Amino acid sequence: AQTVTQSQPEMSVQEAETVTLSCTYDTSENNYYLFWYKQPPSRQMILVIRQEAYKQQNATENRFSVNFQKAAKSFSLKISDSQLGDTAMYFCAFMKARQSSGDKLTFGTGTRLAVRP
Amino acid sequence: EAQVTQNPRYLITVTGKKLTVTCSQNMNHEYMSWYRQDPGLGLRQIYYSMNVEVTDKGDVPEGYKVSRKEKRNFPLILESPSPNQTSLYFCASSHHSGARLGTDTQYFGPGTRLTVL
């Protein structure tokens, strides 16, 4: 079974600064996907970024980028130029690339990020 | 607009009173899934469905039922709710049959906050 660990329950960052959220995972799979989801106070689950394990290049989406270290099973999220709207709970999630149970996501326990004005 | 809808958004009920949380998607997705979110536990999968009339248990199915009579709908049924089912529930869908490599984005509903007294 896969597990996803987010060791930082809460983090805080000053507006306009950079923050990195940590995520590690455990799997015996070679092909899989990793995701970061954002959950603002509205509770909506919003996909921030995704990474395919077979791609060596780290994914980026505007101010969001990841540091994917496959051998270390690490998948951290870097948020640059933090904005007040980035205040949210962030979940790291894992999905096997090919599984009989469809698109099951395994989530970490989340990191609550507060952006200070 | 592509979306997953859930109803109700909020529900307070009493132990033992049967309830149904509806989920509907307008994207013709094959795969649908229910998760529950609890503090410190992240999101955990309850049930999923690969297609019409095809459903299976996730990680925490006890106390829940589902059905998939139509492709667009995937209701979650609590026959006899108990206080330990107080949680935030999410429905999700994606265009994925489980038979091919690769995955599409999962769309999440807005969540249903359930309180069982």
pLDDT at residue A65 in the model:
97
Q: Average pLDDT over chain A, rounded to whole? A: 94
pLDDT at residue B104 in the model:
67
d(Cα A36, Cα A41) in Å, to the nearest integer?
Answer: 16
What percentage of chain B reaches a pLDDT higher than 70?
A: 92
Cα–Cα distances (Å) from B40 to A50, A107, B72, B113, in that order, read 23, 11, 31, 16
Res A42 pLDDT > 60: yes
Q: How confident is the model at residue B97 (pLDDT cuts 50, 70, 90)?
A: low
Q: How confident is the model at residue A102 (pLDDT cuts 50, 70, 90)?
A: confident
Cα–Cα distances (Å) from A37 to A75, A102, B2, B75, in that order, read 13, 19, 18, 24
For A68-97, the pLDDT digits (tens) are: 999 999 999 999 999 999 999 999 999 988
Structure tokens at B73: 């709908």
CB pairs below 8 Å between A and B: how many? 68
What value does the mean pLDDT take over residues A39-56?
A: 93
Whether A104 contacts chain B with CB within 8 A:
yes
What value does the mean pLDDT take over residues B82-88?
A: 98
Partners of residue A93 in chain B, C-beta under 8 Å: 43
Res B44 pLDDT > 70: yes
Q: Average pLDDT over chain B, rounded to whole? A: 92
pLDDT at residue B99 in the model:
47
Q: What are phi and psi of A36, to 5 degrees?
A: -120, 125
Res B2 pLDDT > 90: no
Identify the residue whose tokens are 């795969």. Answer: B31
Res A22 pLDDT > 80: yes
Partners of residue B56 in chain A, C-beta under 8 Å: 101
Identify the residue whose tokens are 């987010």. Answer: A6
Q: A interface mutation test: which of B9, B45, B60, B103 has the most A CBs within 10 A? A: B103
